[in-house]
C-alpha cells in the first residue's frame, strides 16, 4: 500500500514538473510579442499626412490708410486673401480703393480721383521646409485699375492772340496695368493673428493717355511714373485648414 502511494506521489510530482514549465513557456510566449509590438510602435510613430491646402488668411494694409501721415497726397484701403499650398506657394488676391484730392501749390493744378484696383499674384515661402508661422517670402503681382479723374488749372493764356483757354476737365476716363516684385516677412503675434510687411518694386506696363491731360495718380499703383517703390504693413488673420 505504501509502495502504491509512493508511486502516485512520484507520478504527481513529475506531472507537475512538466506542466508548470509548459505553462510558464506559454505565458512568456504570449507576452513577448506584445512587448515587441509596443516597442515597435513606440519607435515608429505614425506620421500625420499633410494636406495640400494648409490654410487661408485674410489681411488688411495699414500703411495705405495712414499714408497721409507720412506725407503722401493720397491714401488707399486694401484687403487681401491668401491660400497656403503646402506651406510653400501662396496664391494671393488683393482688392483696394485708392483716392486723392490734392492741389499742386506751385502750379495750382487740382487733381481728384477715387476708384478700385485689383492685384493677383503669388508668394513663395523661402522657409517652407520649417514648420513655423514666421517666414520670409518673395512674390510677383499683376495690377489693374479702371478709373475716372477730374483735373483743373488756371486758364491758359494764348501768347499770340492774348485770349484765355479754360483748363477744366471732369470725368476723364483712363485705365492702367502694372507689375510688382515683392519681398517681405511675416510673423505670428498670437495664435491665429499675424503681422507682416513688404517692399514692392512697381513697373508700369500701360496707361490710357488722353489728348488734354495725363493721370497724375493711379489707384493701386501710385504717382504716374514709369517705376516706383511702395510698401505695405499688414495685419493678418490666419485660419489653418
Which pLDDT value is given to residue 164?
80
Q: Give the model's confidence band at 53: pLDDT under 50 very low, under 70 low, under 90 confident, else very high.
A: very high
Are residues 221 and 127 part of one domain? yes
Are residues 104 and 14 part of one domain? no
Out of 72-76, 232-236, 237-241, the most confident range is 232-236
CA distance 112 to 211: 18
Are residues 98 and 13 part of one domain? no
DSSP 8-state secondary structure symbol assigned to residue 128:
T
Average pLDDT (50-61) is 93
What contacts 6, CB < 8 A, 6 or more positions away?
A: none
pLDDT at 114 over 50: yes
Are residues 98 and 42 part of one domain? no
CA distance 226 to 214: 13
| pTM recorded for the entire structure | 0.76
* Buried b or exposed e, range 25-56, using 16+ CB within 10 angstroms: eeeeeeeeeeeeeeeeeeeeeeeeeeeeebbe
Are residues 5 and 78 part of one domain? no
Average per-residue pLDDT for the chain: 83
Range with the poorest average pLDDT among 103-112, 119-128, 227-236: 103-112
Are residues 58 and 27 part of one domain? no
Which pLDDT value is given to residue 184?
97
The number of angstroms, rounded, from the C-alpha of 153 to the middle of its chain's C-alpha atoms is 42
- Residue 209's φ and ψ, nearest 5 degrees, are -95, 150
Q: Give the model's confidence band at 49: pLDDT under 50 very low, under 70 low, under 90 confident, else very high.
A: low
Which pLDDT value is given to residue 155?
85
Q: Give the model's confidence band at 85: pLDDT under 50 very low, under 70 low, under 90 confident, else very high.
A: very high
Average pLDDT (25-52) is 50
Which pLDDT value is given to residue 26?
42
If one counts the domains in the chain, the total is: 2
pLDDT at 189 over 60: yes
Q: Give the model's confidence band at 48: pLDDT under 50 very low, under 70 low, under 90 confident, else very high.
A: low
Are residues 41 and 122 part of one domain? no
Are residues 15 and 92 part of one domain? no
| Model confidence pLDDT, tens digit, residues 219-228 | 999 999 999 9
Are residues 169 and 145 part of one domain? yes
Which pLDDT value is given to residue 8?
42
Find the domain containing 26 and state its range: 1-46
Strand partners, 113: 100, 149
Amino acid at each position: 500500500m505504501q509502495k502504491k502511494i509512493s508511486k502516485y506521489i512520484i507520478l504527481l510530482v513529475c506531472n507537475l514538473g512538466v506542466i508548470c514549465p509548459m505553462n510558464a513557456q506559454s505565458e512568456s510566449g504570449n507576452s513577448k510579442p506584445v512587448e515587441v509590438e509596443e516597442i515597435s510602435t513606440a519607435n515608429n510613430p505614425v506620421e500625420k499626412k499633410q494636406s495640400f491646402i494648409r490654410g487661408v488668411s485674410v489681411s488688411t494694409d495699414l500703411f495705405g490708410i495712414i499714408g497721409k501721415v507720412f506725407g503722401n497726397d493720397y491714401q488707399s484701403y486694401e484687403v487681401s486673401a491668401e491660400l497656403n499650398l503646402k506651406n510653400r506657394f501662396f496664391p494671393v488676391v488683393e482688392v483696394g480703393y485708392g483716392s486723392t484730392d490734392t492741389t499742386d501749390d506751385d502750379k495750382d493744378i487740382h487733381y481728384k480721383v477715387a476708384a478700385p484696383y485689383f492685384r493677383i499674384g503669388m508668394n513663395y515661402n523661402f522657409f517652407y521646409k520649417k514648420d513655423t508661422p514666421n517666414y520670409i517670402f518673395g512674390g510677383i503681382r499683376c495690377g489693374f485699375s479702371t478709373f475716372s479723374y477730374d483735373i483743373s488749372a488756371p486758364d491758359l493764356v494764348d501768347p499770340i492772340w492774348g485770349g484765355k483757354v479754360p483748363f477744366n476737365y471732369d470725368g476723364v476716363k483712363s485705365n492702367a496695368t502694372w507689375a510688382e516684385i515683392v519681398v517681405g516677412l511675416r510673423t505670428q503675434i498670437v495664435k491665429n493673428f499675424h503681422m507682416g510687411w513688404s517692399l514692392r518694386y512697381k513697373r508700369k506696363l500701360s496707361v490710357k493717355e488722353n489728348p488734354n491731360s495725363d493721370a497724375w495718380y493711379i489707384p493701386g499703383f501710385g504717382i504716374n511714373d514709369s517705376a516706383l517703390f511702395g510698401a505695405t504693413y499688414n495685419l493678418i488673420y490666419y485660419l489653418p485648414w
